[in-house]
Amino acid sequence: MKFNLLVSEGPYTHQASDTAYQFAAAALAQGHEVTRVFFYHDGVYNATKLTEPPQDDRHIVNRWSALKASNNVDLVVCVAAALRRGIKDEVLAPGFRISGLGQLVDGGIKADRTVTFGD
Number of domains into which the chain is organized: 1
User: Which uninterrupted H or E stretch holds 19?
Assistant: helix 16-29
End-to-end CA distance of the chain: 24
Q: What is the pLDDT along the chain (119 residues), one digit of tens a residue?
A: 999 999 999 999 889 999 999 999 999 999 999 999 999 999 999 999 999 999 889 999 999 999 999 999 999 999 999 999 999 999 999 999 999 999 999 999 999 999 999 98
Q: CATH no. for residue 16?
A: 3.40.1260.10
Separation between Cα atoms, residue 105 and residue 102, nearest integer Å: 5
Residue 52 belongs to domain spanning: 2-117
Separation between Cα atoms, residue 71 and residue 66, nearest integer Å: 8
State the burial class of residue 1 (Cβ atoms within 10 Å of its Cβ: 0-12, 13-18, 19+): exposed
pTM of the model: 0.96
Which residues carry out catalysis?
78
